[in-house]
Structures are given as C-alpha cells and as structure tokens.
C-alpha cells in the first residue's frame, strides 16, 4: 500500500472554525453494531469531545482510560502514596535513561479520506476534523499527503505522464487536487535501494539543496521493516546520498515476518543519526479479513501494540493511513478496501469513531512533539501480567505513561516514581490507560 508522499507537521487544507462547547467534554453517543465493543456516533448536531489537557496538582495524577467494556478516554484523578507496599509487579520510572525524541502522531489525507469528509455536511465535517486535530479531540500533529493517486483514489493518475520528460514540462495537477484542495506534489514508485540511493545522490538531493525547499527532510524506504537493515545500509553508506537524508519510514503490514529487534533496533544502532518513523498502517488489509468492523476492539489493540512496540524500539512517531473511509472501506479503484479509525455513512450524514481512534488518542493527545522516551524498569516478569507499556518526559516536564492490557483479565500493578511516590493501579481486561503527572521542579 506504500506510496511516495509528503509527511509533515499538520497544516489543515480545510478551515477549522471555533466551536463553542459546554463546560466539560461531551460524552460518547455509543452505538453497538454487535462486534464486541462500541463506536461513538457523530453528526452535524453532536459529537463527543474532550476537555483540553490540564495537568494535575503536584502529588496527584490524572488517568485516561478506554476499554472494550465501553470507556472512551474517560478521565479520573488520584493521589500518589508514600507508604504503600509495592505489589510484586510494578513499573519504576527512571528519567535518567533517555532515548529518542518523539515527532508525533497522525494520519493520511488520501483521495478517499477527502471524498468521505467532503460527503458530510459542513457541520459534520467540522466535528470530524476537530475530533482529529483540535484540543477537544486527539490532537494529531502529523499529516501524510500522497503524491498523485493511490489505491485509495477513484482512478489512477499521475502528474507527469510523458515518458522521458525529465524537466517535467508536462507536469500538471489534476481535478482531485484542485477540487479537494489537498497539497500537490509528484509521485515515483518501484525503487530498489540502489536506485533510491542514486536518485537521491544524483538528482533529488542536489535539486532540493539548490531550491527554496532545501529544508525539506527526506525519508527513505517508506515500506516494510523486513527490508531493514539492508535497505538502510545500501543507501546510507553512500556518503553523498546520506548527506541529503534525515530519516527512514516504515509500514506495518509485514511486521509478522520481521522481528522488531532484528530490524528497527539494529537499524537505529547502525545509523543513530537518522530517525525512524512509522508512516502507514491499517487493519482489515488481508484478504481473509472483514474490511470494516464497526466496534472492533481488537483492531484498536493492534494499533496500540504496534505503537508501543515501535516507540520502545527507537521509532519517533506513528502515522495511520486513511483518516476516514466509507462503510465499505473505500472508495478504492482496485477494491482493496480496509478499515479506518473513522467510518463515514454519508447517507445518514454521520460518522463513527472506532476503537482505533481512541487507541491512537491515548498517544497523540498526551505525547506531544519533543517528548522523550525514558527508562521504565519492570520489577519482575509476571506469568499472568501481560502488560505493555512505555514512558515519556514531555517538554513541559510532565511524565506520561501508557499501559496496554490485551489480556481478558484484570491486572493489578504498581507505578513508582522515586521523585513523587507510588500509584496502586489496575489495568482492566482489554483496556488502555494513559497516566500523567508532574515531577518536582
């Protein structure tokens, strides 16, 4: 599903008007489609919202929780303890250990996403966009914009169809770009690592360096991590090509073929000056899977598992594929339908926020750009305590801890911050939690 594209900080191609809201976030309008968990329905007149993040007072913590049972980023507060007895299984924060800094989280404005968003009324569109990008939503800060068509277009098209036109005299935008107001650019597929290396060293790199776009950061690969570290070695061991490159992009579709420690960790240690960024993921992509599953909790858990695994192996951010698809999982000219965190039913002027949406929010809303992953020691391995977790220090000095429980049972655990105190916690079955607290200045 990979496409050559632009990926950068979010600048909306749509206008996001200021919407007034009552004090306090609006709750989920829950709908159950019989797939094990719920979706939150949004329309022109109503959509669930979150309060802007406010950090708790020193000595307290705030927790956001989502669960298969029905919670969606539900907020609660508690206080650190100082004389509590630590349970056998606990996590101890170690901010002296510092790892990669985070670039952020986001999704892709494919043609399909734009078509679906624009199929809604203006007020419903605004609710959808604010759900992704505003303080009352999950605060995406990265957007991926494909160059020309992808499989998630209604037709195949490029911007430069004339063979041998190396000076791009026939370069031209298309109806999709002018009608949907998406960011334009060109498209190049089918690279081998050697071809990519030479194209960057001899053509693209010098052209960018000598243009007004010299500050654009180039990402190589933008494909499956199973190709690492070989792809990076071919491209980055060429000093000329390497001088124009900033990072390495990866997709998630063949992760089951590529152990993360033998791909991402090795690549990071071989080339520590180049960031790793997960640039594409979607569920329902295999031919044996149903495409759209409204309320599929496991699909959200797959997202969180991937994000945590990537973050714990030096990846700097995670970008979803289509921002919104229709009830079929398209449109898609090749009928290669998939699922999305937001599903649009234009016939009813509604859209549904899937569990995937809220799983992503547990990261994107609370781990802003510039946050840094820090150490998190596990007291001991617990045979029945299958929790996944990662901790970060935000630019404002607050701590963020994300805990995922993919098991069908509740898990009791502790959180220890030597500078603040101790939290007795429970991760309910099939849940994800984000904890935040301040450290002493």
Rounded Cα gap, residues 395 and 255, in angstroms: 31
SS (H, E, C) 162-184: CCCCCCCCCCCCCHHHHHHCCCC
- Per-residue pLDDT tens digits of the chain, which is 441 residues long: 444 466 655 444 444 443 333 346 999 999 999 999 999 999 999 999 999 999 999 999 999 999 999 999 999 999 999 877 777 789 999 999 999 999 999 999 999 999 999 999 999 999 999 999 999 999 999 999 998 899 999 998 888 878 888 788 888 877 776 665 433 333 375 789 999 999 999 999 999 999 999 999 999 999 999 999 999 999 999 999 999 999 999 999 999 999 999 999 999 999 999 999 999 999 999 999 999 999 999 999 999 999 999 999 999 999 999 999 999 999 999 999 999 999 999 999 999 999 999 999 999 999 999 999 999 999 876 666 689 999 999 999 999 999 999 999 999 999 999 999 999 999 999 999 999 999 998
Roughly how many angstroms between the first and final C-alpha of the chain, as a whole number? 46
Both structure tokens of 296: 């599929």
Look up tokens 């994800």; give the residue: 432
* Cβ within 8 Å of residue 206, ≥6 positions away: 244
* Cβ within 8 Å of residue 168, ≥6 positions away: 160, 186
DSSP 368: -
Positive or negative torsion for Cα 300, 302, 306, 309: positive
Residue 102: which of 359, 304, 373, 321 has the closest Cα? 373
* Sheet architecture: strand order including 275-280: 5-9, 142-146, 104-108, 315-322, 275-280, 245-251, 218-224
Contact (Cβ atoms closer than 8 angstroms) between residue 219 and residue 6: no
In the chain, the domains with their CATH numbers are: 57-100+372-437 (2.60.40.1180)
Contact (Cβ atoms closer than 8 angstroms) between residue 168 and residue 185: no
């Amino acid at each position: 599903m990979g496409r050559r594209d632009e990926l950068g900080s979010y600048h909306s191609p749509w206008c996001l008007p200021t919407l007034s809201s009552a004090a306090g976030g609006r709750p989920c309008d829950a709908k159950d489609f019989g797939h094990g968990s719920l979706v939150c329905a949004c329309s022109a007149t109503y959509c669930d919202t979150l309060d802007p993040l406010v950090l708790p007072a020193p000595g307290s913590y705030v927790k956001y929780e989502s669960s298969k049972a029905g919670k969606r980023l539900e907020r609660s507060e508690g206080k650190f303890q100082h004389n509590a007895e630590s349970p056998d299984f606990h996590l101890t924060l170690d901010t002296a250990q510092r790892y990669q800094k985070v670039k952020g989280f986001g999704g892709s404005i494919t043609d399909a996403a734009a078509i679906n968003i624009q199929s809604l009324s203006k007020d419903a569109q605004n609710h959808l966009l604010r759900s992704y990008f505003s303080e009352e939503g999950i605060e995406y800060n990265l957007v991926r914009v494909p160059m020309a068509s992808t499989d998630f277009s209604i037709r195949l098209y490029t911007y430069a169809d004339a063979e041998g036109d190396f000076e791009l005299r026939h370069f031209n935008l298309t109806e999709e770009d002018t009608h949907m107001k998406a960011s334009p650019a060109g498209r190049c597929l089918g690279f081998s690592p050697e071809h990519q290396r030479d194209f960057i060293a001899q053509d693209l790199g010098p052209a960018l360096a000598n243009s007004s776009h010299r500050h654009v950061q180039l990402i190589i690969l933008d494909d499956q991590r199973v190709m690492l570290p070989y792809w990076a070695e071919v491209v980055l061991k060429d000093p000329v090509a390497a001088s124009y490159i900033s990072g390495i992009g990866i997709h998630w579709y063949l992760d089951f073929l590529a152990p993360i420690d033998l791909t991402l960790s090795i690549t990071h240690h071989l080339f520590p000056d180049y960031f790793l960024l997960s640039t594409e993921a979607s569920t329902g992509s295999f031919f044996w899977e149903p495409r759209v599953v409204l309320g599929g909790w496991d699909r959200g858990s797959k997202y969180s598992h991937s994000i945590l695994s990537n973050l714990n192996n030096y990846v700097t951010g995670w970008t979803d594929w289509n921002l919104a698809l229709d009830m079929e999982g398209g449109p898609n000219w090749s009928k290669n339908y998939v699922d999305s965190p937001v599903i649009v039913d234009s016939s009813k002027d509604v859209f549904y926020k899937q569990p995937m949406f809220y799983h992503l929010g547990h990261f994107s809303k609370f781990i802003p750009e510039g946050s840094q992953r820090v150490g998190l020691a596990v007291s001991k391995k617990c045979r029945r305590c299958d929790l996944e977790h990662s901790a970060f220090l935000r630019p404002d000095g607050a701590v963020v801890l994300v805990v995922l429980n993919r098991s069908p049972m509740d898990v009791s655990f502790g959180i220890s911050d030597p500078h603040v105190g101790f939290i007795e916690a429970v991760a309910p079955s099939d849940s994800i939690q984000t904890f935040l607290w301040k450290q002493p200045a």
